[in-house]
Amino acid sequence: GDHSCTFTYSAQGGTNEQWQMNVGISEDDGLFSCSIWRPQGKSYLFFTQFKAEVKGAKIEHAMAYSQAAVGAQNDIPLKQEEFEITETTGLEGKFRFELSKLTIVAKTPRDEL
């Protein structure tokens, strides 16, 4: 539809890593979500930069993680100084090169009657 999620990055290492991306929209079209993660939990990629952006929606919540939940382990968030969140850009990395998951929830514009 009118919404999109883009993930751009540069990285080294992590031979043959499998990553997944899910996008979704709520039944009332009010919220748009985007998640990118490594299902195996921890990535061995050495990220030099990353950026996640959404179009057609305003960011309400976003988070980046150094490790994704797997088995009995929980998601481990990056430190606040390691990434920046803006309404337009989404997430942008300024960090120690660890990234295994990121999530964005954005509010879609509503047409007033």
Q: What is the pLDDT of residues 12-60, one digit of tens each?
A: 886 788 899 999 988 888 899 999 998 888 888 888 888 888 888 888 8
Residue 47: name the closest of 23, 64, 71 by CA: 64
Report pLDDT for 42.
Answer: 85
Is 26 within a domain? yes
Is 40 among the domain residues? yes
Instruction: Count the Cβ atoms, other than its own, within 10 Å of residue 69.
Output: 15
Residues β-bridged to residue 86: 90
- Residue 30 belongs to a domain: yes
- Residue 30 tokens read as 């009010």
Q: Is residue 36 part of a domain?
A: yes
Angle at 34 between CA 28 and CA 36, to 5 degrees: 155
Determine the structural domain holding residue 67 and report its residue range: 4-14+22-107
Query: What is the reported pTM?
Result: 0.78
Q: How many structural domains are present in the chain? A: 1
- Backbone φ/ψ region at 28: left (φ over 0), alpha (ψ -120 to 50), beta: alpha
Query: In this structure, are strands 83-86 and 90-93 parallel, antiparallel, or unpaired?
Result: antiparallel
In a domain? residue 72: yes
Q: Is residue 113 part of a domain?
A: no
Residue 112 lies in a domain: no
The whole-angstrom separation of Cα 107 and Cα 68 is 24
Domain membership flag for residue 59:
yes
